[in-house]
Amino acid sequence: MVKESQIWNWLESVSDPEVPVLSVVDLGVVRKVEVSESGTKITITPTYSGCPAMQVIEEDIRRKLLQEGLSNLEVVTALSPAWTTDWLSENGRRKLKEYGIAPPENEVDKSLLFSKPIVVPCPNCNSKETKMVSEFGSTACKAHYQCLSCKEPFDYFKCLR
Amino acid sequence: MKEHLFEYLLRLGDDSLILGHRVSEWCGHGPILEEDIALTNISLDLIGQATSLLKYAGEVEGKGRDEDQLAFLRLEHDYKNCLLVEQLNGDFGMTIMRQFLFDAYRLPLFEALIHSSDSQLAAIAEKSLKETKYHYRHSAEWVIRLGDGTEESHERIQKAVNSLFKYHVDLFFTNHVDDALLKEGIVPEMKAIHNKWMESVKNVFSEATLEIPSNNWEQSGGRLGRHSEHLGLLLAEMQYMQRAYPNMEW
Ligand SMILES: [Zn+2]
């Protein structure tokens, strides 16, 4: 029987199709790996309800583990507890920044209207002089910002709690 | 109880599906690039919620129908969405007002459904609530910006209020389905949701200098499958592929 830790290792090489610098483990979508005599069960949880990457992620996990020789594989989706950006690993946060995406600031979502957008440092020059262009960015998980110092536009991996 | 839960899940799922489809019609036509992206993202969230809700509805029904069959292979009167979500996009003001009136209803509803005694419904609500908060902030801020904006933006969004407000009663429709589910602790009391909705609408309208129409026109029937003519046309487009090429996949 394959060890659970070995499976986690394999999953480290399955990347998020939309943010390929992150593995599905960094992203925190793999919630559980269960190994038993009857097979292997992987539980994943979606980031956003409509995230088109989820189906690809499921297929990629399946493909990777089948390639490694596992059979009797089951990948199930659990909605609860709902994914939050707190599940992004430290490693994942570092990789995001290196890739040019600002990692989520751990600020509680104040659902006040016209609340001041949170300060997101520029992943390019670290300046805190940045502005939010739109709360909705290139994918469901990102907002669109611009740096006022180096003028670069950048994506912010928005906080979801 | 099973058929009541099925019915209720169709209401929730069809609201998400039909509004998601409507909002997706903006893709490539947004007034500015950022809004085009925002509306497309909102549409995607809604269709994702519809997927979860209709999938669960199919399981509860137990007749082997999956989310795709429920979304694409029912007839018009089998859709239980409210009338508001099927209304035409109109101009940006109309789309934003429709979205706001809906988000202001969905937000307290999902907040309450998190405590549902049905664990799967509670899980879907927990997931969807996080997204709905973003939608609400987006639509409410636009309502204020447009209402308290220029003379023209004010006039156009007030026109949207005048034309859409009559559909709000449909959101809060209840019948024996709700009564039965309420007893089981599966759904919250609609009266409380209605009060919270009214509070949001009053607050945001006051900031936006908008007025609730003084006439008391009401239109409902969506939850009973009685729709405006717009739904049929929407379904004709949405269902085309599955009807023309049954069971096609890509
Ligand atoms: Zn910068």
Place of tokens 């239980």: B80
The backbone torsions φ and ψ at residue A35, rounded to the nearest 5 degrees and listed phi first, read -115, 130
pLDDT of residue A108: 58
Q: Is B79 left (phi over 0), alpha (psi -120 to 50) or beta?
A: beta
CA gap B190, B180 in Å, rounded: 13
Q: Closest CB to A79: pick one of B124, B133, B134.
A: B124
Helices (H), ranges, chain A: 4-11, 24-27, 53-67, 90-99
Whether residues B127 and A160 touch (CB distance < 8 A) is answered with no
pLDDT of residue B247: 87
The answer to whether residue B44 sits within a structural domain is yes
The answer to whether residue B250 sits within a structural domain is no
pLDDT of residue A109: 55
> Which range of residues forms the domain containing residue B50?
2-211+220-244
In chain B, what are the helix, strand and coil shares in percent, each to the nearest 5? 75, 0, 25
- Number of folded domains that form chain B: 1
The answer to whether residue B249 sits within a structural domain is no
**CB-based contact B122:B184 (threshold 8 Å):** no
The answer to whether residue B96 sits within a structural domain is yes
What pLDDT, in 10s, does the model give residues B116-137? 999 999 999 999 999 999 999 9
The answer to whether residue B22 sits within a structural domain is yes
- CA of B228, closest CA in chain A: separation in Å? 27
pLDDT of residue B25: 97
Per residue of chain B (250 residues), give pLDDT as tens: 899 999 999 999 999 999 999 999 999 999 999 999 999 999 999 999 999 999 999 999 999 999 999 999 999 999 999 999 999 999 999 999 999 999 999 999 999 999 999 999 999 999 999 999 999 999 999 999 999 999 999 999 999 999 999 999 999 999 999 999 999 999 999 999 999 999 999 999 999 999 999 988 999 999 999 999 999 999 999 999 999 999 888 7
Domains of chain A and CATH, by start: 4-83 (3.30.300.130), 100-157 (no CATH)
Whether residues A79 and B52 touch (CB distance < 8 A) is answered with yes
Chain A from 100 to 159: CB within 8 A of any B CB:
109, 111, 113-114, 133-140, 144
**Per-residue tokens: A123:** 């992943």
Nearest of B120, B113, B114, B228 to residue B164 by alpha carbon: B228
DSSP letter at A21 equals T
Residues of B whose CB is below 8 A from A113: 137, 140-141, 144, 204, 207
Counting Cβ atoms within 10 Å, is residue A84 exposed (0-12), middle (13-18) or buried (19+)? Answer: middle
Q: How far is the CA of A97 from the centre of ligand 1 (A)?
A: 12
Any CB–CB contact under 8 A between A161 and chain B? yes
Q: Which residues of chain A are modeled with pLDDT < 70?
A: 107-112
pLDDT of residue B58: 98
**CB-based contact A61:A44 (threshold 8 Å):** yes
Looking at residue B167, which CATH number applies to its domain? Answer: 1.20.1260.10
What pLDDT, in 10s, does the model give residues B97-106? 999 999 999 9
The answer to whether residue B194 sits within a structural domain is yes
pLDDT of residue B162: 97
- CA of A117, closest CA in chain B: separation in Å? 12
pLDDT of residue A106: 74
CA gap B20, B109 in Å, rounded: 18
Q: Closest CB to B45: pick one of A111, A137, A140.
A: A140
Q: How far is the CA of A120 from the centre of ligand 1 (A)?
A: 10
Mutate to test the interface with A, among B34, B99, B134 (most CBs of A within 10 A): B134
Residue of A nearest to B33 (CA): A134
